[in-house]
Amino acid sequence: MITQSVSAHLDVEYVACDLCGANDFADVIHARDSNWQYHVESPNSSAPPDDRQWRIVSCNNCGLAYLNPRPTLAAIGSCYPPSYYAYAPGSKVARPRGLQLAKRAMRRAVRRRKWPFSLALGVGGKAVFGDPVTQLLGWVPVGSILEVGCGAGTCLDGFKERGWTTFGVDISAAAMEVARSKGHGAWAGDFVDAPLARGSFDVVWMSHVLEHTSSPLHALRKAHAVLSPGGIVVVFVPNFGSVWTAVFRERNWSLDLPRHLYHFTRSSLEQVAIAAGFRVDRLCTKATQKFFLCNIEKSLNENQFEQWVDHKSAMDAMRRCKGVDHLEKFRGWLESLGQGNQLMLIGTKER
């Protein structure tokens, strides 16, 4: 690793491939931080801390794509403005009482056993009794779950309601305080450094976190270590291997340079998971409406058309002309072709 100051603003470092260690790569995309205005509270009120052309390269040995050079660990914090969405502290949840406690007890009782859970789903109770894990895997026993990059614990709230023992890790100390106030275990800092006991969780949930880490391989190895035998890891990352990388190129919302240090294809994500010790049970793509709306917004703004446009107003306009219905069909079609803008991996720590 070579550190070099090539900017008046940020120090950068040159790194070898995190997966295979090779230092042989080819340039793929050069792009600036064109998402900065969408992460700050007042668009156009400030410029990104470094306006250079960042470079995404692809390892000539294994194919992993990554930012090279990239901001150093000491410098990258300035690439995340205080208003960055993942830092949002959220709001404290009032302690449930009376009827709320009864509803929680019912959800947990139904969720705990397979046959009443299956019966509840059969009569339309998926939203009430299900959780993100059951949506992906069907019924699994309730246990302990760790969310990496949990923010204020919004996702963990749903798990806790259904009886899971919840724990979160996030680099935002303010968000961790909110998560603790809602009854979640929480630790502020880098996941790799978190003082977590080996084999202490049944599920590790990593939604759009791996691409931000300085070493995805180390992060997944940490996940493998803290999982119990037979435990499950669920990973979501942007899909760098989709057709949309070629279509949108440097305007691609999912690049989010320089905050995204790694850019995964199906092959490279699978290779990293296997190298970390996981058995890959499922690997597929997911498509989201927000991805297309954000890219449309960026294209309009960068061409100086309709500077007021944002994905919320675009969504409202599409609802009025029933465009959302067509976009939803398009989203499903993309997923069937394996061209969604996200990758989802489910892996198991073998017994």
Q: What is the pLDDT of residues 13-46, one digit of tens each?
A: 999 999 999 999 999 999 999 888 777 766 655 7
Q: Among 57-61, 67-71, 75-79, 136-140, whose mean pLDDT is lowest?
A: 136-140
What pTM does this model have?
A: 0.84
Q: Which of these, 256, 254, 223, lies nearest to 340 by C-alpha position?
A: 254
Q: What is the mean pLDDT of residues 274-285?
A: 97
pLDDT for 282 beyond 80 = yes
pLDDT (0 to 100) of residue 323: 53
Domains and their CATH numbers in the chain = 1-83+190-351 (3.40.50), 90-180 (no CATH)
The neighbour count for residue 86, using CB atoms within 10 Å, is 18
- CA–CA distance, 253 with 188 (Å, rounded to integer): 28
Q: Helices 323-336 & 289-302, crossing angle to 10 degrees? A: 110
